[in-house]
């Protein structure tokens, strides 16, 4: 069980076990990277950032017309293009190394912050962070982020840090910056409002608007295309929205319907689902469970966003931490249930050897890739429209698992969670779940 004052010489085995697990976990990755350096890390998306930076420097008006390859375009804000310029001027090897190291550090920091919000202190917090991170490191969304050179882990830790550090005058500004780079983070602004943190929500909104203004000043023509001509709203900019890797509500309904639904139809469903998820997240927060609250908010955002690539689901890392915490606090009767829930989540989102793809074990893939997938480009026929049996479950696995997590959160909060406005460290550490 978590302890607030650290551990003594006879009870530090969890820390030793956690450290060993983390070293082994990362060590296996390093070995695989050494054996297959150009396969394990492709940096395909990092290359998009670099090339977008070159376009922003030399032909900024073409930022949203340019394509690196069919179906691969720049889909971030004009503000984000300024960071891409920095990427484009640094040596490529250094950029790739910094992105890889920074992403791993971001994962560890996110889990550390999550356990801090859950009330863990001292060496117990460090042991829990190491143990859960050793598992979270091999979640498919995390591995795909490392493989492609994406920024999801970096944005996640920025949001989690901002939500976790209470008392700062400009709390919310980090969230605003994250939303100014990737719009899906905007889901946290209404969440802050619903939880009564109006000042933080205001800081996030003002910071986000500042990023819009900065982007407009730096790249006026590109900003007109992005904001005023609706490029930010066009989910098809990244190719076929029914592509397997798009684990969102829009992606799933496209695959099930066998056709891309009208924008109004998808929007109607999203407008129904988003408020329910946000109200659930706010309710959980008010019951004294802030970490579980922002995890539910993040999952809601992933479900309702028009495009949620598999690597966007890195939020499963703090979700596993939250479930593990609930298992350790649970009374004996339900401890196995919560532990099994954490384990099942890890299994469903785990990176497995890609035996059905033919890549051997060099690149870890998730269970979603059991279903055949089309290329990013649009085409006359897509295998996603012809899935049957287990392919339907596997190909929509992340969306279904996300919906299941929301349902479990609603039931658990209604039945079990104590109604506490604010818990101190001692209260949190001693709290039990039925």
> Is 130 a domain residue?
yes
Average pLDDT of span 60-75: 82
Q: What are residue 92's phi and psi, to 5 degrees?
A: -60, -45
The answer to whether residues 248 and 402 touch, using CB atoms and an 8 Å cutoff, is no
pTM: 0.91
pLDDT at residue 242 greater than cutoff 60 = yes
Mean pLDDT of the chain: 88
What is the pLDDT, as a whole number, of residue 419? 40
Average pLDDT of span 167-181: 93
Domain count, the chain: 1
> Is 187 a domain residue?
no
> Is 335 a domain residue?
yes
> Is 140 a domain residue?
yes
> Is 77 a domain residue?
no
Render pLDDT for 180-228 as a digit per residue (tens, 0 to 9). Answer: 999 999 999 999 999 999 999 999 999 999 999 999 999 999 999 989 8
For residue 201, count other CB atoms closer than 10 A to its CB.
22
> Is 84 a domain residue?
no
Which domain does 243 fall in, by range?
13-42+91-167+234-430
Render pLDDT for 313-358 as a digit per residue (tens, 0 to 9). Answer: 999 999 999 999 999 988 877 888 899 999 999 999 999 876 545 5
**pLDDT band at residue 422, thresholds of 50, 70 and 90?**
very low
> Is 225 a domain residue?
no
Burial of 34 (0-12, 13-18, 19+ CB in 10 A): exposed
Displacement of CA 210 from its chain's centroid (Å) = 24
The answer to whether residues 83 and 133 touch, using CB atoms and an 8 Å cutoff, is no
How far apart CA 43 and CA 90 sit, in angstroms, is: 15
Render pLDDT for 277-298 as a digit per residue (tens, 0 to 9). Answer: 999 999 999 999 999 999 999 9
How far apart CA 251 and CA 240 sit, in angstroms, is: 9
> Is 160 a domain residue?
yes
| Cα-based distances in Å from 83 to 56, 67, 207 | 10, 19, 17
């Amino acid at each position: 069980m978590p302890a607030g004052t650290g551990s003594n010489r006879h009870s530090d085995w969890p820390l030793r076990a956690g450290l060993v697990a983390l070293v082994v976990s990362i060590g296996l990755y390093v070995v695989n990277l050494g054996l297959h350096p150009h396969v394990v890390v492709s940096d395909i998306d990092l290359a998009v950032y670099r090339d977008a930076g070159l376009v922003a420097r030399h032909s900024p008006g073409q930022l949203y017309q340019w394509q690196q390859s069919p179906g691969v375009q720049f889909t971030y804000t004009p503000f984000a293009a300024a960071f891409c310029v920095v990427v484009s001027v640094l040596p490529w090897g250094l950029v790739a190394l910094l992105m890889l190291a920074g992403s791993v550090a971001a994962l560890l920091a996110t889990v550390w912050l999550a356990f801090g919000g859950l009330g863990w202190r001292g060496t117990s917090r460090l042991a829990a962070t190491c143990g859960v991170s050793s598992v979270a490191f091999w979640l498919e969304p995390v591995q795909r982020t490392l493989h492609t050179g994406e920024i999801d882990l970096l944005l996640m830790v920025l949001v989690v840090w901002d939500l976790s550090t209470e008392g700062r005058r400009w709390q919310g500004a980090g969230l605003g910056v994250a939303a100014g780079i990737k719009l899906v983070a905007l889901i946290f602004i209404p969440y802050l409002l619903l939880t009564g943190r109006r000042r933080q929500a205001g800081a996030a909104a003002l910071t986000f608007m500042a990023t819009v203004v900065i982007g407009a000043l730096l790249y006026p023509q590109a900003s007109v295309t992005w904001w005023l001509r609706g490029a930010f709203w066009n989910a098809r900019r990244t190719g076929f929205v029914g592509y397997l890797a798009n684990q969102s509500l829009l992606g799933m309904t496209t695959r099930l319907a066998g056709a891309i639904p009208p924008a109004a139809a998808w929007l109607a469903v999203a407008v129904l689902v988003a408020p329910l998820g946000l109200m659930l997240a706010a309710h959980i927060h008010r019951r004294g469970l802030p970490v579980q609250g922002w995890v539910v908010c993040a999952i809601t955002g992933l479900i309702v966003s028009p495009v949620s690539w598999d690597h966007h689901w890195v939020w499963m890392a703090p979700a596993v931490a939250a479930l593990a915490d609930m298992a350790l606090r649970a009374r004996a009767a339900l401890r196995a249930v919560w532990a099994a829930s954490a384990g099942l989540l890890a299994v469903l989102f785990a990176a497995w050897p890609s035996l059905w793809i033919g890549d051997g074990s060099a690149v870890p893939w998730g269970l979603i890739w059991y279903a055949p997938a089309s290329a990013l480009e649009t085409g006359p026929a897509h295998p996603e429209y012809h899935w049957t049996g287990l392919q339907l479950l596997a190909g929509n696995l992340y969306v279904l698992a996300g919906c299941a997590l929301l349902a479990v959160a609603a039931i658990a909060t209604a039945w079990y969670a104590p109604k506490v406005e604010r818990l101190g460290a001692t209260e949190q550490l001693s709290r039990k779940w039925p």
